[in-house]
Amino acid sequence: MALGSKLATALPFLFLAARINANSSITAFNLTAISAFNNASILECWQITLPLTISQTAGIQGAAVQQLGNVSSMVWSSLPGGFAGSPHPAPSVQYNVILSGTLHVTIPNSSQEVTVVSGKRSLLIAADTANVSRTGHISSLLGKEQGTSLMIPTANNEIPPHKVIHAGACGKRDLEL
Ligand SMILES: *[C@@H]1O[C@H](CO)[C@@H](O)[C@H](O)[C@H]1NC(C)=O
Ligand SMILES: *[C@@H]1O[C@H](CO)[C@@H](O)[C@H](O)[C@H]1NC(C)=O
Ligand SMILES: *[C@@H]1O[C@H](CO)[C@@H](O)[C@H](O)[C@H]1NC(C)=O
Ligand SMILES: *[C@@H]1O[C@H](CO)[C@@H](O)[C@H](O)[C@H]1NC(C)=O
Ligand SMILES: *[C@@H]1O[C@H](CO)[C@@H](O)[C@H](O)[C@H]1NC(C)=O
Ligand SMILES: *[C@@H]1O[C@H](CO)[C@@H](O)[C@H](O)[C@H]1NC(C)=O
């Protein structure tokens, strides 16, 4: 194939790549963390400090891409609607992606709570393992809908590099994704 016709074939893609740009308003990725302080669980809004970049991958150029660290496995789980949990520490440091249902996380002896539904704000991280939180947190399901989620433990129980933006769960303004 002549160089000219190769260029002609490539050009539409170049234009497409130029038009599809990531929403540059996303400059930092935040998520709610179930963390721990003084041997008790707490909710915090974390900002992940691993690289947030623009994808150069052919076909999805321009997509915003946030690294979330290395993980060890992936577990799907399901609970019936209305499930009322009891206090437990996180079994490992793990991301939790809510696929369906309305998760309600509360902390014993605390007014902290967060409600999470499926969608772009449905990623949490639980880091209140038994060595840092005596009692842990309570996970319940509001409403009748079955709760399904993906639990993704981090490699070697590592807590991803982050900074704490504020105490309490991330609010909508922290999650303008
Ligand atoms: C970028 O994100 C902001 C805030 O969510 C939104 O208002 C705006 O329409 C988005 N722009 C593009 C080009 O998607
Ligand atoms: C993930 O694992 C790779 C290979 O061991 C390592 O090079 C990299 O630094 C790890 N990434 C993070 C964020 O820890
Ligand atoms: C909550 O506080 C009460 C009174 O201080 C205490 O007896 C109880 O053990 C606490 N429960 C938890 C789960 O920390
Ligand atoms: C947390 O509480 C447990 C149970 O009371 C206790 O065995 C452990 O030593 C405490 N850990 C810390 C770091 O205070
Ligand atoms: C608690 O255990 C987790 C998971 O094994 C580990 O990553 C973390 O470093 C431990 N924290 C402390 C304070 O010992
Ligand atoms: C994450 O938090 C920072 C600091 O509050 C904020 O500037 C940024 O817009 C937030 N990111 C998103 C995607 O909402």
Scanning the chain, the segments in alpha helix (DSSP H) are: 3-19
Q: Which of 43, 56, 15 is nearest to 139 (CA)?
A: 43
Is the Cα torsion angle 29, 35, 38, 40 positive or negative in sign?
A: positive
Mean pLDDT of 112-132: 97
**Side chain identity, residue 24:** S
Q: Report pTM.
A: 0.84
Residue 85 in 3-state DSSP? coil
Q: What is the pLDDT of residues 145-156, one digit of tens each?
A: 999 999 999 999
In ligand 5, the atom with minimum distance to the C-alpha of 158 is 7
Q: How far is CA 129 from the centre of its chain?
A: 18
157 within ligand 5 shell (Cβ under 6 A): yes
- Report the separation in Å between the CA atom of 33 and the middle of ligand 6, taken as the mean of its atom positions: 15
Residue 5 has what pLDDT?
Answer: 46
CB 65 within 8 A of CB 148: no
Q: What percent of the chain clears pLDDT 70, i.e. is strictly above it? A: 86
In ligand 1, the atom with minimum distance to the C-alpha of 26 is 2
Mean pLDDT of 126-133: 98
Mean pLDDT of 21-43: 87
Question: What region, left, alpha or beta, does residue 144 occupy, with left being phi > 0 and alpha being psi -120 to 50 degrees?
Answer: alpha
pLDDT of residue 144 exceeding 60, the answer is: yes
Q: Which of 20, 83, 89 is nearest to 56 (CA)?
A: 20
pLDDT of residue 16 exceeding 70, the answer is: no
Nearest-CA residue for ligand 4 atom 11 is 39
Distance between CA atoms of 9 and 22, rounded to whole angstroms?
24
pLDDT of residue 30 exceeding 50, the answer is: yes
CB 153 within 8 A of CB 145: no
Instruction: Tally the C-alpha atoms within 13 A of residue 14's C-alpha that lie toward its C-beta.
Output: 6
Residue 62 has what pLDDT?
Answer: 81
**What confidence category does residue 25 fall into, taking pLDDT thresholds of 50, 70 and 90?**
low
Q: What is the pLDDT of residues 48-60, one digit of tens each?
A: 999 998 888 888 8
pLDDT of residue 21 exceeding 70, the answer is: no
* Cα distances (Å, whole numbers) of residue 40 to 110, 131, 154, 165, 169: 10, 10, 21, 19, 16
- Report the separation in Å between the CA atom of 109 and the middle of ligand 3, taken as the mean of its atom positions: 6
Sole residue written with tokens 């772009």: 120
pLDDT of residue 45 exceeding 60, the answer is: yes
Residues with CB under 6 A from ligand 4: 39, 134
